[in-house]
Chains A and B, each alone.
Chain A
Amino acid sequence: MLNSRRLILAHFWLAFGVFGLALLLGAWQMFVRSPLQAWISNPEWYYRSLTAHGTVMGYVFPTLVAMGFGYAISEAALKQALIGRRWAWAGFWLIAVGAVTAMVPVSMGLASVLYTFYPPLIGNPFYYIGVVLVVVGSWIWVALMSINLHVWKRDHPGEPVPLAMFANVAGSYLWAWTAVGAALELLFQIIPVALGLRSTIDAGLARVFFSWTLHAIVYFWLIPTYIAYYTIFPRAIGGKLYSDPMGRLAFILFLVVSMPIGIHHAFADPQVGAGFKFIHSAFTALVALPTLLTIFTICATAEVAARMRGGRGPFGWIKALPWSNPIMLATALSFVMLGFGGAGGLINMSYQLNTTIHNTQWITGHFHLIFGGAIVIMYFAITYDLWPHLTGRALTSVRLMRAQLWLWFIGMIVTTFPWHWVGILGMPRRMAFFDYSSPALAADAMSVTMSAFGGFILVASSILFFAVLIQNRRAPQAEPGEYRFATAIHPPITLPAVLNGHALWIALMVGLTVTNYGFPIMQLLVTPETSVPAVYVGAEK
C-alpha cells in the first residue's frame, strides 16, 4: 500500500539527480590530482568542487534516500496511509531550497571550506544557512516517522512493530540527535561569525561539536542499507529472515553506541585529553558488534533459503542462491565491501594504528569504500526493488541492472584499494595537486592513476543506473501487487516492550552522549582564551 508515490518518487529523483552531479565532480577531482593532468591552473577550483561533492554526498543525497525510503516503509510496513503528507512535502522543499542556497555561494567560490567546515576558516553565510535548512527539512521527517508509528501503536496495542518500521524510526532518532552537534556548531559558533556579529571562534570546540555529528552520521547513512539486508534481501531471494529479535538488537545497538564515539575522529587533536580519547576508542570497538551480528543473521538467512532451494554441502549451498537476482547480487557485493571497509575501520578506531594513516588518503579510501561502496550499492538495490511499486511499470532489463551493480563494485574496488595504499605511504588528503616528478611522490603516481580510472568506471555505472530508470518510464504498465517486507522464520507474536519501542534506548543514547561528550565540551567552554580570529575565505583575492 503505497499512497504517497509522488512524494517518494520526488525524494528518490532529487537524491539521485544531485548524486549524479556530485559523482561527476568526484571523478573530475580524481582526474585533476592524478598524473593524467598537469598543474591545474587554479587550485581553488578543486576545493570548490570538493566542497560541493562532500556537501551533496554527505548531507543531501543520503538524507533524501533515507527520507523517501522511510515514507515508503511507514506506508508499506504499517499498512497505514502516511499521516502529515503536506508536512512531508514541506520538508522536501526545505531540502531542495537549502541545497540550492548552499550551492550558489560554493559554486561562486565564496565558501570553499569543505563540507567539514573546520573554522576558523569561514565562508559565505548562505552556505551554512543552506545546510541548516537541509537539516531542518530532515527533522520534519523525523517527527513524521515518530507520529506515524505512534498512531499505529495506538491502533494496534500490544502488536509487534514491523522490523522495517522499528529500524526506520531508530534511524530517524539517530539522525535527529547526531545532527545536534553540527547544529550547535553552526548556530552558536560559525553562523554568527559568518554574519560578522563576532570575529573570533574556538576552533577546538568546533571540532569536538563536529565529531559528535561526523561519526554517527555514517550510521544514519548505513541504516537504509541494513534495513534492506534484513527486510528486503530475505524476501527477494525467496527466503525468510533468520531472526527478528537479533535484527532489532542490531538497530538498538546502532542507536545507542554510534553516538558516544565520535572523538575517535579527534585522536590527533590537541584540545581533547588522553582519557576521553581512550573511552571513545573503546566504544568505537563496540560499534562493530551490530555489524558482526548482522553478518551472521544475513548469512544464515541466505543459507536457509539456499538449502530450501536444494543447496547442499558446507559451502555448496552458495551455488543454489538466485545469483541472477539483482538484490542477491547487490547484497553479496555490499557484504564484500563491508568486510574490507570494516577491517579498515577497526584500524582507524585504535589510537595507535590511526597515527599511521590519520588524515592520509587512507581515510578517504576508507569512507568511500564503506559509504560509496557497501552503502550506496544497496541504495541502488532499494531503488530497483521499490521502483515498480512507485511507477506502476516493471523493471525489465535485469541484465542491465546486474551490469550496473558489477560495474559499481569493480569501480569502487579499483578506486579505493590503491587509495588506501597511497595513504599508507603517507600521502595527505584534500590536496589539489601533487608533484609526481619528486622522487618521494613518484611511487604514488601509478596508484593514483588507477584510482582515477576507478572513478571513471563509477561514472559509467551511474549512467547505466539512470538508463534502467529511464527505460522503466517506457515499459508497459504492470500491477506490481502489494509491497511487502520479509517475514521472519519465527515471526514474533509478542515482544517485550524494550524490543518494541525506542524510549529506553533514546534515554541511553542521550545519557551516553552526555557522559562521553559533556566533560570535554564543558572543559573547553571554561578554558579561557581559546577563541582565535576568524579567517574569511575569498576575502584575500
Chain B
Amino acid sequence: MTSSPHIHDDGAAVAARAERRWATLSIVIIVVIAGVAAFAGIHQATMPQVRVETADPTTLHIGGEFVETNLGSAAEPDGTVTVRAIGQRYSFTPQCILVPTDTPITLRATSSDVVHGLLIQGTNVNTMLVPGYVSVLTARFEKPGEHLMPCQEFCSIGHEGMWARVKVIDKAAFMNMTSNRRRLDCVE
C-alpha cells in the first residue's frame, strides 16, 4: 500500500459502513418474507396437514376408508364434503371427482402402489400421494366448471397417461344428488 495509513482507514470505514447497511437491509427483507409466510400460515390461508396418518397400500381394497365403495365425495353432517381418492398406476379412482361450489372440501387420498401426486389445474390444490401415508388437504371451489387433474410425479412408464378430471357443480344440485347416493363421482 502506497497510500498513507490515515486515508486507507477512512476508505475502509466507508466501505464497511456501506456493507453493513446493505447487510441490515438484506436481513430485514428476509425477516419480512418469512414473517409474511408465517402470517399466512397461521391465518390458515393455506396450511400443510398437521398430523401424519398412515394407510397400508396392500390392504386398501379389503377394508378401511379407502375401500372402493367408499371412494368419491361424501356429504358430512356438518355441511362439509369429504372426497376420498386413490392413485394407482396409471389412473385415479374415481377418474372424475364431483364437488359442490361454496363448500369446505376435505380431500383424503393415498396411493396403492408407487409415489404419485395430484394437482387440480387452475387452483392451488396440489399434493403428493406416497404409499403408506394419507394426504389430507382442504379446499373450496367458488365457480362451477371442469378442471384437469394430472398426476404430477413420475410413476413409471404410463405416467403421461394419468389424467383425471374434477367437476364443480352448483351446491344445491350436488346436495340433491346425495339423497339417493352415498358416494358421488362423475365417472360416466
Residues of A within 8 A of B (CB): 43-44, 46-47, 112, 114, 118, 120-121, 202-204, 207, 242-243, 246, 266-274, 277-278, 281-282, 285-286, 288-289, 292-293, 296-297, 300, 346, 349-352, 354-356, 358-360, 425-426, 428-434, 440-441, 489-490, 523, 527, 529-533, 535, 537
- What is the CB-to-nearest-CB distance from B3 to chain A, in angstroms, rounded to a whole number? 11
Q: Per-residue 0/1 for B105-145: is the Cβ within 8 Å of any A Cβ (1 yes, 0 no)? A: 00000100111010111101111111111111000000000
**With A120-B113, A269-B130 given, can you name 8 additional A-B contacts, CB distance below 8 Å?**
A47-B159, A121-B156, A203-B130, A270-B129, A272-B48, A355-B46, A425-B121, A527-B52
Q: Do A270 and B114 touch across chains, with their CB atoms under 8 A apart?
A: no
Q: A346-B33, A428-B152, A430-B153 given as contacts; is B27 within 8 A of A359 (CB)?
A: no
In the bound assembly, the distance between CA atoms of A267 and B18 in angstroms comes to 37
Q: Do A243 and B8 touch across chains, with their CB atoms under 8 A apart?
A: no
Pairs A–B under 8 Å by Cβ, sample size 8: A121-B156, A288-B26, A352-B37, A426-B122, A428-B119, A430-B153, A527-B54, A532-B57
Query: What residues of B have a CB within 8 angstroms of the CB of A431 in the complex?
Result: 150, 159-160
Query: What residues of A have a CB within 8 angstroms of the CB of B122 in the complex?
Result: 426
Residues of B within 8 A of A (CB): 8, 11-12, 15-16, 18-19, 22-23, 26-27, 29-30, 33-34, 36-38, 40-41, 45-54, 56-58, 89, 110, 113-115, 117, 119-122, 124-136, 148, 150-161
Query: What residues of A have a CB within 8 angstroms of the CB of B151 in the complex?
Result: 428
- What is the CB-to-nearest-CB distance from A75 to chain B, in angstroms, rounded to a whole number? 28
- What is the CB-to-nearest-CB distance from A38 to chain B, in angstroms, rounded to a whole number? 14
A-B pairs under 8 A by CB, number: 209
Q: Do A359 and B153 touch across chains, with their CB atoms under 8 A apart?
A: yes
Top 5 A-B residue pairs of the complex, sorted by shortest distance between their CB atoms:
A426-B121, A359-B152, A292-B26, A270-B133, A428-B152
Q: A351-B37, A355-B126, A533-B58 given as contacts; is B26 within 8 A of A289 (CB)?
A: yes
In the bound assembly, the distance between CA atoms of A204 and B52 in angstroms comes to 11
In the bound assembly, the distance between CA atoms of A207 and B161 in angstroms comes to 24
- What is the CB-to-nearest-CB distance from B175 to chain A, in angstroms, rounded to a whole number? 28
Query: What residues of A have a CB within 8 angstroms of the CB of B134 in the complex?
Result: 270
Q: A289-B30, A358-B126 given as contacts; is B57 within 8 A of A426 (CB)?
A: no
Q: A268-B117, A429-B152 given as contacts; is B19 within 8 A of A246 (CB)?
A: yes
- What is the CB-to-nearest-CB distance from B105 to chain A, in angstroms, rounded to a whole number? 15
Q: A112-B157, A242-B15, A531-B132 given as contacts; is B58 within 8 A of A272 (CB)?
A: no
In the bound assembly, the distance between CA atoms of A273 and B161 in angstroms comes to 31
Q: Do A203 and B132 touch across chains, with their CB atoms under 8 A apart?
A: yes
Most chain B beta-carbon contacts within 10 A, residue among A47, A360, A440: A440
- What is the CB-to-nearest-CB distance from A140 to chain B, in angstroms, rounded to a whole number? 32
Query: What residues of A have a CB within 8 angstroms of the CB of B156 in the complex?
Result: 47, 112, 121, 535, 537
Query: What residues of B have a CB within 8 angstroms of the CB of A489 in the complex?
Result: 11, 15
- What is the CB-to-nearest-CB distance from A117 to chain B, in angstroms, rounded to a whole number? 10
In the bound assembly, the distance between CA atoms of A246 and B26 in angstroms comes to 13
Query: What residues of A have a CB within 8 angstroms of the CB of B51 in the complex?
Result: 273
Most chain B beta-carbon contacts within 10 A, residue among A270, A286, A358, A529: A270
Q: Do B37 and A296 touch across chains, with their CB atoms under 8 A apart?
A: no
Q: Do B160 and A529 touch across chains, with their CB atoms under 8 A apart?
A: no
In chain B, what residue has the closest Cβ to A287? B30
Partner of A532, one of B52, B58, B120, B135: B58
- What is the CB-to-nearest-CB distance from B79 to chain A, in angstroms, rounded to a whole number? 24
Q: Do B37 and A281 touch across chains, with their CB atoms under 8 A apart?
A: yes
In the bound assembly, the distance between CA atoms of A272 and B37 in angstroms comes to 18
Q: Do A203 and B160 touch across chains, with their CB atoms under 8 A apart?
A: no
Query: What residues of A have a CB within 8 angstroms of the CB of B154 in the complex?
Result: 47, 114, 118, 430
Q: A114-B154, A270-B135, A532-B58 given as contacts; is B128 within 8 A of A352 (CB)?
A: no
In chain A, what residue has the closest Cβ to B30? A285
Query: What residues of A have a CB within 8 angstroms of the CB of B38 in the complex?
Result: 278, 282
In the bound assembly, the distance between CA atoms of A537 and B156 in angstroms comes to 7
Query: What residues of A have a CB within 8 angstroms of the CB of B37 in the complex?
Result: 281-282, 285, 349-352
